[in-house]
Amino acid sequence: MIRQYDALASEDGTPLEMRYWELLHPVPPRHFCMAIFSYTLTAEQAKLPDAGEVRSQIGAEIECARFAPELAAVLAKAAV
C-alpha cells in the first residue's frame, strides 16, 4: 500500500513544496514495515515545466518498490 501526500513549509524564508510517499507492508498478525520517501523543491523550482514529470517518475519508481520477503519473515518470527 502506498500513501502519497503533499506539504508546504519554509526554510530560512524560502517556501518549499514537499511530496511524501509512505510504503506499507503488512507483517501478520499485528505489525507492518514502513518506508517513507520524500522529495522537496523550492516553490520556484516547483513551477518549472518538468517538476510535475519528475515527481511522477519518482512516484512510479516507488510504486515498484517491494520489501524483501526475508525481512518480513524475520519480523514475523520476532513478533510472535
- Interval 1-15 mean pLDDT: 96
pLDDT at 77: 73
Q: What is the pLDDT of residues 14-63, one digit of tens each?
A: 999 999 999 998 877 777 889 999 999 999 999 999 999 999 999 999 99
Look at the pTM and tell me if it is higher than 0.75: yes
- The pairs formed by 30-39 with CB atoms below 8 angstroms and a separation of 24 or more are 30/79, 31/75, 31/76, 31/79, 33/67, 33/71, 33/72, 33/75, 35/65, 35/67, 37/62
**Tell me, what's the pLDDT at 72?**
66
Residue-level pLDDT at 1: 82
